[in-house]
């Protein structure tokens, strides 16, 4: 298998990125972070849907502890993993995390950075950082409350509890569960549904979803105004009316 930290498959409307450190259970190290930054640069320049997967029985077991142990306060202030995950979250098009097996610590935070999360029945997800003398500091303390609510986020982060797939589904941390051998197929089916829609409308919807509450409703008004004047809106609505006319 390639020694590249990410295996990249490119299609016209999407990219699939497979975390590729199987001997280390896909622990997230500096090389993987660098590869994620390079991938983000590509997707910022040419927006496409991104699917992130672990490619096997583990999504990502966490950040690389051997590297974390040697990092100091200066490294913490660089927000090494957090910066990459913010960039992933802010990509123009949707990000889908297809998660099997362990997604712990930094691996969970990478999944939280996605717009959509689906899982296999083997999922084990959570943030045990406090047991290692650190905290979850790559997005979990502010993304997790937005996803599952403050009470459940507090329980996960303060106790280090690990959720299985059924619990993650019940809590709204993932949106669906699929057999492990069908998980990537399900992720591509989701990407197909995204691709069938107008790309600009999808990008604007994601932008509005990510905007702080203080920007609403103004942001919807401006983004919708741009879409109302688009040729694609006119084409799609005309096609819809034609289909309805023919069906009647």
Name the residues annotated as catalytic. Answer: 109, 129
Report whether 157 contacts 108 (CB < 8 A): no
The residue whose two tokens read 């993304």 is: 143
Report whether 100 contacts 59 (CB < 8 A): yes
Region of residue 246 (left: phi > 0; alpha: psi -120 to 50; beta: else): alpha
36/174 Cα distance (integer angstroms): 22
β partners of residue 63: 28
Which residues touch 44 (CB under 8 Å, ≥6 apart)?
91, 92
Report whether 193 contacts 182 (CB < 8 A): no
Q: Between helices 199-210 and 218-228, what is the axis angle to 10°?
A: 170
Backbone phi and psi for residue 245, each to the nearest 5 degrees, phi listed first: -60, -45
151/135 Cα distance (integer angstroms): 17
123/164 Cα distance (integer angstroms): 5
Residue 240 three-state SS = helix
């Amino acid at each position: 298998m390639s020694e590249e930290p990410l295996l990249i498959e490119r299609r016209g409307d999407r990219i699939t990125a497979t975390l590729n450190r199987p001997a280390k259970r896909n622990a997230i190290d500096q090389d993987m972070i660098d590869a994620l930054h390079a991938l983000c640069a590509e997707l910022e320049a040419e927006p496409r849907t991104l699917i992130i997967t672990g490619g096997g029985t583990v999504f990502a077991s966490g950040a690389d502890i051997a590297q974390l142990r040697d990092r100091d306060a200066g490294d913490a202030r660089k927000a090494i993993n957090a910066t990459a995950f913010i960039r992933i979250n802010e990509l123009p098009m949707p990000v889908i995390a297809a998660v099997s097996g362990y997604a712990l610590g930094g691996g969970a935070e990478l999944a939280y950075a996605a717009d959509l999360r689906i899982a296999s029945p083997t999922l084990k997800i959570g943030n045990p950082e406090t047991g290692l003398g650190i905290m979850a500091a790559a997005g979990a303390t502010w993304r997790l409350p937005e996803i599952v609510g403050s009470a459940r986020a507090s329980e996960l982060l303060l106790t280090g509890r690990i959720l299985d797939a059924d619990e993650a589904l019940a809590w709204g941390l993932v949106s669906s569960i699929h057999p492990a051998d069908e998980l990537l197929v399900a992720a591509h089916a989701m990407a197909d549904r995204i691709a069938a829609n107008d790309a600009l409308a999808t990008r604007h919807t994601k932008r509005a979803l990510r905007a702080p509450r203080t920007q609403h409703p103004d942001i919807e008004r401006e983004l919708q105004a741009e879409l109302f004047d688009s040729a694609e809106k006119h084409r799609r609505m005309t096609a819809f009316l034609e289909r309805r006319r023919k069906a009647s």
